[in-house]
Amino acid sequence: MSSTPSAYAHPDLVLVNGLITTMSDDPRTAEVQALAVTGDRVAATGTTEEIRELAGPGTTVVDLQGRRVVPGLIDSHVHVVRAGRTWRDEVRWEDERTLDSGLAAIARRATERPEGTWIRVIGGWHPAQFPENRGPSRAELDRAAPDHPVYVQFLYDWAVLNTAAMRELGIDHDLVRELAGQGFPASAFETGPDGELTGKVNGTPLMEWFYRRMPAPTFEEQVAGTAEMSRALNRLGLTGAIDGGGFNSGPAAYPAIRETWRRGELTLRTRLAVHAERAGTETDDLAGYQRYTALDVGDGMLRVIGVGEVILYATVDKIAHPVEIDDDIRARFREIFGELARNRWTVHTHAHQHETIDAVLGAWEDVHAEHDISPLRWALVHAEPLTTTDVERIAALGAGVLAQGLYRFQGEEALAIWGEKTVAEAPPLRLMLERGIPTGLGSDAMRVASYNPWATIAWFLDGRTVQGTATLAPHNLLTREEALRGYTASGAWFSFEENERGRLEPGLLADLAVLSDDYFAVEHELIDRIESVLTVVGGQVVHTAAPFADLPVTSFAPQGVSRA
């Protein structure tokens, strides 16, 4: 047994008869049969017999019946703040296997919500996951929810609106002509053979136009949605997330998650990389955060750790869309990064194209010459086309990389733009691990990817898109242990918590998930179907399913004064 509580302190919770992956670096304790939890910490690990002996009259004893247990998963780059605000009026299609079932989910939601309220499917799905291999039509959305405005978005590529949504937003030929005068191409609005608008629209700028005009949920709906979202992620074994900000984020985006936390309803340890609101306000917004936001103030459930993901909106590149990096951009990078380094803030920076990566690293190196950033754990986000030289530059800065399985949905696009040779090494995961580059894995959900961590993990194992296309070279594919580590122990490094969570060792936080299937034994094709049947955050049960559904689910104590 690796540790024993004092004789007078019986553990609160004991798990026995399991296959518990601790993520310990010591091979003797990398897998154990049982563990004990006292308060919010792991008290001991060992054999079933050793741990069962520690139980007292008030100890909850759970017989795992041979089930696999893993440390609670940490999505190191995801957009939970934004998602929580609209969660209650969204329908998620991650788990839908046919277009018909997706439309049925919209129809069910329509029966639950008042007539005239919006229903949205904002990303997280791909037409190739359906046997129909397509998205919905306007007519199909009309039949599913005729009395509700419906908006269905695929990545940032296109969206489909039903008739009620078009009427609500005033979308007709007059509006198309008006927007054309503002720079929106006529092709952004699809027309049929009869010249009439089909309800399908194209392009990121138009997505943003819609976001600004669709009604925002009330503050209470945002808080309730954030609480529901955190429980939904617990269902998949997620106990932690680093929120990367993103479009439609900014200073006004954070009150809902803070209120959810204050009420004790946030069950996902969330670390915030706070974000500028829009192009033109970046310098002021980031300066305001540094002036008025205290780093690492909060409890173990919610804290600000730094800034991200977009430092300058002008540098928001995509796999298929490079941006121009000129001397002015490089100078602004040095100025903003320099100020962040002086104030000792962590930075997570978006970069897909190599030119962007080079500009960011160049600015970091200039800043590092004056202010040592190696203790600050700065990270590149995405960073697919890293070269060997880039990896060495990252290592010299003491920085890391936050990698996501974006090729799962966008692999064909990457192959068409970059070619097989580049994609095979983008990112060069094997080189990064061999060089010791801290590498956290994540989803980049909710719009451009599924929030299901097991779907992302499965991609890191086989590198195949939802259409079955190979992307990464075989040597860059991860083992099951490496992929799990990237979603647990490695992810904790980016929030300075590698000695607090991400492993199930005595003294560390008791964040864990009991899995529906053995991740290390289940067939590869079934990995993305894994769920948690028992999720624990800080010793508190936050999610249960059969056979543990009878265990009471607990809530966290409210923090401070509520706005309610």
Per-residue pLDDT reduced to its tens digit, 201-213: 999 889 889 988 9
The token pair that represents 385 in the structure block: 């086309």
Q: In this model, does residue 85 exceed pLDDT 50?
A: yes
Q: What is the pLDDT of residue 7?
A: 44
> Are the C-beta atoms of 450 and 125 separated by less than 8 Å?
yes
| pLDDT tens profile 270-329 | 999 999 998 999 999 999 999 999 887 778 999 999 999 999 999 999 998 999 999 999
- Residue 270 CA to residue 301 CA, distance in Å, equals 6
The token pair that represents 209 in the structure block: 């136009």
- Residue 529 CA to residue 531 CA, distance in Å, equals 6
Q: How confident is the model at residue 564 (pLDDT cuts 50, 70, 90)?
A: very low
Task: State the average pLDDT over residues 355-378.
Answer: 98
| pLDDT tens profile 107-123 | 999 999 999 999 999 99
Task: State the average pLDDT over residues 124-133.
Answer: 96
Residue listed under structure tokens 């955050």: 537
- Residue 281 CA to residue 97 CA, distance in Å, equals 41
> Are the C-beta atoms of 145 and 110 separated by less than 8 Å?
yes
Half-sphere exposure of 422 (CA within 13 A, CB side): 18
Torsion-angle region of residue 170: left (phi > 0), alpha (psi -120 to 50) or beta? left
- Residues with Cβ within 8 Å of 172's Cβ and at least 6 positions away in sequence, in order, are 166, 197
| pLDDT tens profile 224-262 | 999 999 999 999 999 999 999 987 788 999 999 999 999
> Are the C-beta atoms of 238 and 269 separated by less than 8 Å?
no
The CATH number of 119-213, from 3.10.310, 3.40.47, 3.40.1350, 1.10.150, is 3.10.310
Task: State the average pLDDT over residues 30-57.
Answer: 98
Q: What is the pLDDT of residue 3?
A: 58
Instruction: Determine the residue type at 294.
Output: A
DSSP string of 205-248, one letter each residue: HHHHHHHHHSPPPPHHHHHHHHHHHHHHHHTTTEEEEEE---TT
> Are the C-beta atoms of 277 and 289 separated by less than 8 Å?
no
| Residue 238 dihedral angles phi and psi, to the nearest 5° | -80, 130
Task: Give Cα 174 to chain centroid, integer Å.
Answer: 39
> Are the C-beta atoms of 347 and 337 separated by less than 8 Å?
yes
The token pair that represents 501 in the structure block: 């969570």
Among 328, 337, 343, CA closest to 360: 337
| Residue 271 dihedral angles phi and psi, to the nearest 5° | -115, 130
Residue listed under structure tokens 């900014």: 250
The token pair that represents 373 in the structure block: 């950033």
Note the pTM of the prediction, 2 decimals. Answer: 0.95
DSSP string of 490-515, one letter each residue: HHHHTTT-TTTSSS--TTSB--EEEE
Question: Where is average pLDDT lowest: 173-177, 246-250, 342-346, 422-426?
Answer: 246-250
Q: What is the pLDDT of residue 208?
A: 85
For residue 275, the SS3 value is coil
Q: What is the pLDDT of residue 500?
A: 97
| pLDDT tens profile 145-157 | 999 999 999 999 9
Task: State the average pLDDT over residues 70-94.
Answer: 96
In eight-state DSSP terms, residue 161 is E
> Are the C-beta atoms of 494 and 438 separated by less than 8 Å?
yes
Q: What is the pLDDT of residue 1?
A: 75
Mean pLDDT rounded to a whole number for the chain: 95
Instruction: Determine the residue type at 23.
Output: M
Among 69, 52, 48, 71, CA closest to 61: 52
> Are the C-beta atoms of 64 and 513 separated by less than 8 Å?
no
Strands 119-122 and 540-544: unpaired
Instruction: Count CB-CB contacts under 10 A for residue 444.
Output: 27
Q: How confident is the model at residue 438 (pLDDT cuts 50, 70, 90)?
A: very high
- Residue 487 CA to residue 401 CA, distance in Å, equals 13
Taking the alpha carbons of 519, 521, 526, 529 in that order, is the dihedral positive or negative? Answer: negative
For residue 440, the SS3 value is strand
The token pair that represents 315 in the structure block: 């540098």
Q: In this model, does residue 88 exceed pLDDT 80?
A: yes
List C-alpha distances in Å: 316 to 96, 171, 337, 432.
31, 28, 16, 24
Strands of 73-78's sheet in order across: 73-78, 238-243, 269-274, 302-307, 346-351, 379-382, 400-404, 439-442
DSSP string of 378-393, one letter each residue: -EEEE-TT--HHHHHH
Integer-rounded Cα Rg, in Å, for the chain is: 24
For the chain, domain boundaries: 119-213
